[in-house]
Structure 1
């Protein structure tokens, strides 16, 4: 809920700043994209897929908002989902194939073991729920999934479906930054409220079984071990 509130405040701030200071028009963005001669989609997909410098330091949300700002709500949404899924697939494969160390079964990691068991019992539903919940960030969940016996295709399909609500919100959000469109902002606000309510209900349910804060700490510890 806090993240979505910050997102809405940021949207209002950027709309006001653009209106009075930057005065960037949608036509300016369109002209800049056309100058790239069709390379723009591949640049964004590459940013999602590989996250090379300087994109490594950027959250996926920033890349997603920029994508929808450039391509609009429809194409932006398509590229966000496509890029996010491709990036998750590449990370999952690389982690499972090349990354070593950091076993989930080490002592003292009860929350990770609980998540591992749920994923291996019912991988698709478990990953889908965690993708929809604001419990773990995107990369941490990919890391945990790669360390379990969850099948690649279950992971990929759950990620694709779980990415849709957030991608839709980012698509509308980014495309609304240059001009104050009441319809888009109303849609964004409604979607944000619905996602917040569903996320809060689902988070309360999962927190009855797992200490999510401790889970984050356990995952970070494993990642440090893997890099050591």
Structure 2
């Protein structure tokens, strides 16, 4: 039942999902809390992907076509779909609904999207559960956890930047 609730709250965020995710870590522990959070996040991402691909695609296609500069971004994302989705899941700088909808209206395959989403959601869902578990028991360890996660995101961002620059160099040559 908690897995269904996690999906529901991720699709319909009546409370912030990060708050729910922390509570799952506090209540069920880090491992089960992470699994519950991951299931909810990945399930809702799949739901939004299919909604964008089927019911909402014509609306979003028309909206995006108005912005010609997005053509290059769309082309690059479709050529490197797995890496692009994995990166925005590992370093959550793009809002989740934008990632889900943009991926759904692109030519990206569901398998590629789902794989990158499933892998990319693991660190964040783990940190949410861990923070929830540590919130009341060990505030100092909580701060170290948050600092470690920030360093992790910076490292991923740095690696992606290096990869992206190398990709652009190849595309220009």
TM norm structure 1:
0.62
Is 1:77–1:167's contact at 8 Å kept on the other side of the alignment?
A: yes
- 2:135 aligns to what SS in structure 1? coil
Shift of 1:190: 5.1
- 2:59 aligns to what SS in structure 1? coil
Task: Look up the match of 1:155.
Answer: 113
Give 1:130's match in structure 2, choosing from 79, 84, 88: 88
- 1:98 aligns to what SS in structure 2? coil
1:169 aligns with 2:127: yes
Structure 1 residues 106 and 42, CA gap change in structure 2 (3 angstroms): closer
Structure 1 residue runs of 5 or longer lacking an equivalent are: 1-38, 209-228
1:67 aligns with 2:24: yes
Is 2:48–2:100's contact at 8 Å kept on the other side of the alignment?
A: yes
Counterparts of 1:172 and 1:141 in 2: how far apart (Å)? 25
Counterparts of 1:108 and 1:205 in 2: how far apart (Å)? 27
Bigger radius of gyration among the two = 1
User: CA deviation digits over 1:90-140, x for unaligned, max 9?
Assistant: 111111111131326524341x32331122212212211222233311111
Structure 1 residues 157 and 197, CA gap change in structure 2 (3 angstroms): same
Aligned Cα root-mean-square deviation (Å): 2.7
Is 1:92–1:143's contact at 8 Å kept on the other side of the alignment?
A: yes
- 1:67 aligns to what SS in structure 2? helix
Q: What is the 5 A alignment of 1:73-84?
A: 73-84=30-41
1:44 aligns with 2:3: no
Task: Look up the match of 1:191.
Answer: 148
TM norm structure 2:
0.79
User: CA deviation digits over 1:50-84, x for unaligned, max 9?
Assistant: 42xxx34x333222222222212110001111111
Counterparts of 1:113 and 1:97 in 2: how far apart (Å)? 21
- 1:70 aligns to what SS in structure 2? helix
Task: Look up the match of 2:170.
Answer: none
Is 1:133–1:202's contact at 8 Å kept on the other side of the alignment?
A: no
Counterparts of 1:161 and 1:200 in 2: how far apart (Å)? 16
Structure 1 residues 43 and 191, CA gap change in structure 2 (3 angstroms): same
Structure 1 stretches of 4+ with a deviation exceeding 4 A read 202-208
